[in-house]
Homo-oligomer: A and B are copies of this chain.
Amino acid sequence: MIKRLWRKGIMKVTMGLGGMLFLSGSAFAQEGVSQEMFTVNNTWMLVATFLVFVMHLGFATLESGLTRAKNTVNILFKNVAILSIGLLTYAVVGFNLMYPSEWAAGLWLPKLAFGIGLPADYISGQYADGGYTYWTDFIFQAMFAATCATIVSGAVAERIKLHSFLLFSTIYVAFVYPFLGSWKWGGGWLDNMGFYDFAGSTLVHSVGGWAALACVLILGPRYGKYNGSAKAIPGHSMPLATIGVFLLWLGWFGFNGGSVLSADPELVSFVFVTTTLAAAAGVIGAMFTSELLLKKPDLSMVLNGSLAGLVGITAGADTVSVLSSIIIGLIAGALVVVSVIFIDSKLKIDDPVGALSVHLVCGIWGTLAVGIFSTNPEHSFMTQLIGVLAYGSVSFIAAYGIFSVIKSFMGVRVTEREEIRGLDIDEHGMEAYAGFQIFTTE
């Protein structure tokens, strides 16, 4: 079994220097690894960081591509804002909430006040047993945190009030996400139980997906979506959507590859292989399933298929065999097509970009798949199921509660007139494509 860094029990080297920060490069004492190895590990983690950053552009382009031109400015605005809010709140509270040195129920609360002063007081020390600096740890995790909030953005698109969304996301990413994350990655009770989620099929994708579900249930469908049968509302730019999927796939090399938490050659390269093949298998799974059920090669299904494969492999990318990664991806790809159709035409829940099917459904699938395919005998299906249920219930209830409170005092939905004219004109006072002749009457 491989000895590797994990996210618990990490010791923070703190050196009080008043409010002033000055970098110390001489204290390069490192237990276990050489200075060279430390530098390689750290460099890889920073590469992984900028790859996860790319995912935010991926979400922005995917979500705007799959919705209508009249709401494009709104979606782009949300994605830029939520990334920035996510990064800053994570600096102020999230980081300490999620990775308390000694986790225990309730013990994370006092960290809050401490966390606020953090960025100015902490020194760029190294963890005693770590492979990267304190700053690398923070910035990599901050990029992760921001993705969780972005998942909600797609599902609630084209009808949510901007400020209500920003308020909800701020609370969710600042408090709920890190609190839930601490159960596993902070060394909490689910970690102690043996629950496994390598890079966040549940901790990031499902936690985002459950929040998305709560919000769309409260919001209701877009105007004109379910008059009688479900009406398809096609997205306005398939090139944008495709760019989004490619960039998300690219970012996943950092999302999963960086979750190794070092540049370990075997593990990182192995994770690259399982991640890539699961995504490719997701495409193939969605392609065949959509040809079967829809009788045509549907591009948006195939795009969601690759994301489905990626979400599906995220929980077990380092612990299932290559063959299993292909099977997990194929099933995820098929599942996402069935799920999109079922949620839309049977449940009549309006999810413009398929975020529920990709992140929630395939996040659950990926987490359970660890219990089925893992090569590590310590992983069990029952523990994975308990994790899924625990995360699902708490994140759904939390999101439902927060969003309900926001609804009660400031509302969550734009007026019908604004929705019909488009959020760009009415909320932002500008068009996404000035000069272009576009039909936005419906």
Which residues of chain A have a CB within 8 Å of any CB of chain B? 1-4, 19-26, 34-44, 46-47, 49-51, 53-54, 56-57, 60-61, 64, 68-69, 72-73, 76-77, 79-81, 83-85, 87-88, 91, 119-120, 122, 124, 126, 132-136, 138-139, 142, 162, 234-240, 242-243, 245-247, 249-250, 253, 257, 263-270, 272-273, 276-277, 279-281, 283-284, 287, 296-300, 302-303, 306, 318, 320-324, 326, 375-376, 427-440
Contacts and interface: CB of A to CB of B under 8 A. Distances in A.
26 contacts: A21-B321, A22-B376, A39-B40, A39-B264, A42-B263, A43-B47, A50-B253, A61-B239, A61-B243, A76-B242, A80-B242, A80-B283, A81-B287, A84-B306, A88-B277, A88-B284, A91-B322, A91-B326, A119-B323, A120-B321, A120-B324, A132-B269, A234-B430, A298-B429, A299-B430, A437-B438
A77 B302 contact: yes
A143 to B, nearest CB: 8
Of all A-B residue pairs in the complex, the 9 with the closest CB atoms, nearest first, are A119-B322, A84-B280, A120-B323, A42-B265, A135-B269, A84-B283, A57-B246, A21-B321, A2-B25
A405 to B, nearest CB: 22
Given A80-B245, A81-B287, 5 more contacts: A20-B375, A77-B299, A80-B299, A84-B280, A85-B284
In the complex, the count of this chain's copies comes to: 3
Given A87-B280, A299-B430, A119 B326 contact: yes
Contact of A81 (B44, B300, B302): B302
